[in-house]
Amino acid sequence: MRVLAMDTSNLVLSVAVVEEDRVLAELTTNQQKNHSVRLMDAISELMDETGTLPEQLAGIGVAKGPGSYTGVRIGVATAKSMAWSLQIPVIGVSSLEAVAMNARGFSGLIVPLFDARRGQVYTGAFRTKDWAELSVVAEERLVLLRDWLASLKEQAGNERVLFMGEDLRIHRETIAEQLGEQALFAPATHNHPRAAHIGLAALGKLAEGGHPHEMVPEYLQLAEAEAKWLAQNPACGVKE
């Protein structure tokens, strides 16, 4: 079975075609360019390169967020549209978990994070369940970085904590200040998500199904414009 996988949830664009336990092709770039313009070209290139016809796909994997609102929507909308037209499952994979997958095998706490502005980060915590799998230690959240670091310090005890993600350069000084030598920082090669990880994770979940209409993005917070609109129009908000 073959799966097409994609991640446009942040600055990185990553697309892959995987088959069982093989990565047939992968394209990953880390440039300030428009995902909406480049995604379909990248998909077409990899499908041609691997000789994959649309009808050969058993499913589609996609990073479902958190991350850039626009980026998440581009990837999710593309994946859902393709899956619906081909009548195949679409599997959403956490964008944070996609980064954490680069550290499978690490013996301490694995903490991916994305900057969310105003001192906040999107983050969560994972451990290696066995060499090939991750288990969730702390659910994904939007949190002030300083509060998160205080919680991690208490939770980790004497364990080392591995921080990951392209936005580490923004927060590295604060992390080092609060956790000192307990904090480890992933090398640049491990900070960006790989669509191949998403594809292989999706392969393992195909049996569970994944109807395109049921897969929704995970933003963790409202877009600023939406939040302002709801504040000005409280009667239009969701009521309990």
pLDDT classification of 131: cutoffs 50, 70, 90: confident
- Give tens-digit pLDDT for 136-190: 999 999 999 999 999 999 998 899 999 999 999 999 999 999 999 999 999 999 9
Q: Which long-range contacts (CB under 8 A, 24 or more apart) does 183-186 make?
A: 184/108, 184/160, 186/102, 186/103, 186/162
Say what the pLDDT of residue 240 is.
Answer: 38
What percent of the chain has a predicted confidence (pLDDT) above 70? 92
Residue 66, preceding bond cis, omega within 30 degrees?
A: yes
Min mean pLDDT across 3-17, 49-63, 118-132, 142-156 is at 118-132
Q: Which run of H or of E encompasses 5?
A: strand 2-7
pLDDT, average across residues 2-16? 97
In the 8-state DSSP scheme, what is residue 238?
P
pLDDT, average across residues 202-215? 93
Say what the pLDDT of residue 222 is.
Answer: 54
- Give tens-digit pLDDT for 213-238: 999 999 997 555 444 444 556 665 54
- Give tens-digit pLDDT for 74-89: 999 999 999 999 999 9
Distance CA 21, CA 200 (A): 7
In the 8-state DSSP scheme, what is residue 177?
H
Give the closest residue to 63 by CA, choosing from 186, 225, 192.
192
Say what the pLDDT of residue 7 is.
Answer: 98
Cβ neighbors of 83 (< 8 A, separation 6 or more) are: 59, 60, 89, 90, 210, 212
pLDDT, average across residues 125-140? 90
Sheet arrangement for strand 22-29: 22-29, 13-19, 2-7, 57-63, 90-93
By the 8 A CB rule, do 64 and 219 touch? no
Distance CA 151, CA 176 (A): 15
pLDDT, average across residues 191-206? 96
